[in-house]
């Protein structure tokens, strides 16, 4: 039995809540959440009541020892974010690390995640992929971060890359991507699972022109194609080739 359950919640469509998530929220003694109003709304929509405790980047460190103590005393906690999978650009990593180190039971209930949803819809190779969270908000730091990834490509990395970005910064961010990576295939996924879900696909230059003409609103993920666009092929080719070779030599 887990003392700490990581519960993924919808990223915009209540229908995506899983039945395991509902049971976990019902069974938890305490639900750790970011914005209690957001989680309260979810619980209300599900017809649930729960004791909420606020848990965010600023109090994670100081709360963790008390939470571990309560877990040792048998209290069951569920951790949720405002949306999606906890820890993924959201609080929880330090608590999980500490709970694991303390030998407490931790489990995760899979569910909605904007990054993976965007990746699968992008039409770009799904693996290998790098999830990079939010890029640095300021231009110079952002370009430095992108340049480090570009340098890793020079050293042999070829992976699709996924970022979260705010609609106010997405134009600058795409421009920086083009400066650093060139005019590569990319995708902009917006308002996933919601009424205005939209995925724009194309070379960065096309996405940039599109953002200028029609600035995207709402929640956005950006996916950049890998250095080697056939990155996803070789392992399948290899399998097929091995089978062909084996049947030929038999």
Positions that interact with ligand SAM (CB under 6 A): 11-12, 81, 83-85, 88-90, 113-115, 164-165, 189-194, 219-221
Min dist CB 41 to ligand SAM, Å, is: 15
Min dist CB 240 to ligand SAM, Å, is: 35
Give the burial class of 202: count Cβ atoms within 10 A of its Cβ; 0-12 exposed, 13-18 middle, 19 or more buried: middle
Comparison of 11 and 98: residue with beta carbon closer to ligand SAM = 11
Closest residue to ligand SAM, Cβ-based? 84
Using an 8 Å Cβ cutoff, are 8 and 113 in contact? yes
Rounded-to-integer distance, Cα 201 and Cα 124, Å: 9
Comparison of 18 and 158: residue with beta carbon closer to ligand SAM = 18
Min dist CB 167 to ligand SAM, Å, is: 9
Using an 8 Å Cβ cutoff, are 74 and 30 in contact? no
Angle at alpha carbon of residue 189, lines to 188 and 190, rounded to 5°: 115
Comparison of 146 and 227: residue with beta carbon closer to ligand SAM = 146
Comparison of 176 and 219: residue with beta carbon closer to ligand SAM = 219
Min dist CB 15 to ligand SAM, Å, is: 13
Rounded-to-integer distance, Cα 220 and Cα 43, Å: 25
Q: Supply 156's token pair.
A: 């042999």
Comparison of 68 and 187: residue with beta carbon closer to ligand SAM = 187
Min dist CB 204 to ligand SAM, Å, is: 18
Q: Kindly tell me the sign of the dihedral angle through the C-alpha atoms of 169, 184, 134, 145.
A: negative
């Amino acid at each position: 039995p887990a003392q700490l359950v990581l519960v993924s919640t919808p990223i915009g469509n209540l229908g995506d809540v899983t039945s395991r998530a509902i049971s976990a929220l019902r069974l938890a003694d305490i639900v750790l959440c970011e914005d209690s109003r957001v989680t309260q709304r979810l619980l209300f929509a599900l017809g649930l009541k729960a004791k909420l405790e606020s848990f965010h980047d600023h109090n994670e460190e100081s709360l963790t020892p008390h939470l571990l103590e309560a877990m040792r005393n048998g209290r069951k906690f569920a951790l949720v974010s405002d949306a999606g999978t906890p820890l993924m650009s959201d609080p929880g990593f330090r608590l999980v690390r500490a709970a694991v180190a303390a030998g407490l039971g931790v489990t995760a209930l899979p569910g909605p995640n904007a990054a993976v949803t965007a990746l699968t819809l992008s039409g770009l190779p799904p693996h290998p992929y790098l999830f990079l969270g939010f890029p640095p908000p300021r231009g110079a730091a952002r370009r430095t971060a992108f340049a480090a990834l570009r340098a890793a490509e020079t050293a042999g990395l070829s992976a699709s890359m996924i970022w979260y970005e705010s609609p106010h910064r997405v134009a600058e961010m795409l421009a920086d991507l083009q400066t650093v990576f060139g005019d590569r295939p990319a995708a902009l996924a917006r308002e996933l699972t919601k009424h205005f879900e939209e995925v724009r696909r194309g070379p960065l230059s096309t996405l940039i022109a599109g953002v200028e003409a029609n600035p995207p609103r709402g929640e956005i993920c950006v996916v950049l194609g890998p250095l080697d666009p056939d990155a996803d092929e070789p392992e399948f080719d290899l399998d097929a080739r091995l089978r062909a070779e084996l049947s030929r030599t038999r």
